[in-house]
Chain A
């Protein structure tokens, strides 16, 4: 009599082995999710700083809040593309390899910091294009384009805020 595993063609040891590594596209998607989460944290911090500073800095909220809302929309779309298996404890976002730089204090400095962060995000999103299936590539391109439009908005805000 053959063992059941041989009859079924299954290898019991493989069935119980560790789950396979995620596909490269999944890793890239997790990176994109982590990047948006970080951007949202940065905007939230900058908004708190501007609110605390008051005066002309307080008016920055009218500029930063719409951009923050767009990053939240980006994050929601990216998260909706990631299917996490039921019962999985894995975080939907990839952890950052290094601790991200904190938002500097000072309103004009923080606006300049956000501008640089947006430019870096555009570059990173473009690099993800080539490691993505078609529908995700379109989403990355659209999000990257949106983030590129944030740069001139922050330039104009920087001109309004006195250091």
Chain B
């Protein structure tokens, strides 16, 4: 994100939502990584874990620059499903990326060009990671069927 970012409540709220999703992703990749022991998957999990740490740190810095206190990470997070083996770890990574993409679409909805562009880049990065873990693509990363229907009514 470059340029002046407005400190409107909606902006801070959307940034905090993205930060919360990044905290959960950092935690979740920590869990998933323990089960992804093959060299290719372990390297991918490590790369993605680091990418989420970088994004988390960036969001925290932006929030501080706006005079907001960044949301702290929870001690632990409830996983969407049990993770006991590599395939469940991969499934967790996919869910984490889908949630991250949804959170960053919240930034795309803001009117500031710089934030909107950053949000779109993060949605794209998340979609690429999710596709790699899933082994397939989807038509609307980050958008649920309900969200697609809702936004169709609004536009």
**Cross-chain contact B138 with A146 (CB below 8 angstroms):** yes
Name 7 interchain pairs, CB-CB below 8 A, sorted by A: A122-B124, A135-B154, A141-B119, A142-B141, A143-B140, A152-B131, A152-B132
Q: Which residues of B contact A134 (CB under 8 A)?
A: 108-111, 154
The contact of B109 among A70, A135, A148, A153, by CB within 8 Å, is A135
**Cross-chain contact B120 with A146 (CB below 8 angstroms):** no
The SS class assigned to the B binding surface is helix
Task: Give the nearest-CB partner of A67 in chain B.
Answer: B137
In whole angstroms, what is the CA distance A45 to B142 when docked? 30
Q: Give residues of chain A (75-117) contacting chain B, Cβ–Cβ below 8 Å.
A: 77, 80-81
In whole angstroms, what is the CA distance A77 to B140 when docked? 10
In whole angstroms, what is the CA distance A107 to B128 when docked? 25
Residue-wise interface mask of A (63-74) relative to B, using a CB-CB cutoff of 8 A (1 in contact, 0 not) = 000110110011
Interface residues of B (CB under 8 A from A): 101, 105, 108-111, 113, 116-117, 119-120, 123-124, 126-128, 131-132, 136-143, 147-148, 151-152, 154-155
The SS class assigned to the A binding surface is helix
Known: A81-B152, A145-B124, A149-B141. A137 touches B109 (CB 8 A): yes
Task: Count A-B contacts at CB 8 Å.
Answer: 104
Q: Which residues of B contact A126 (CB under 8 A)?
A: 117, 120
The contact of A142 among B116, B128, B140, B154, by CB within 8 Å, is B140
**Cross-chain contact B120 with A74 (CB below 8 angstroms):** no
In whole angstroms, what is the CA distance A144 to B123 when docked? 9
Task: Give the nearest-CB partner of B148 in chain A.
Answer: A77
Residue total for A at the interface (Cβ-Cβ under 8 A) = 32
**Cross-chain contact A138 with B151 (CB below 8 angstroms):** yes
In whole angstroms, what is the CA distance A14 to B31 when docked? 67
**Cross-chain contact B143 with A142 (CB below 8 angstroms):** yes
Known: A129-B116, A148-B128. A70 touches B108 (CB 8 A): no
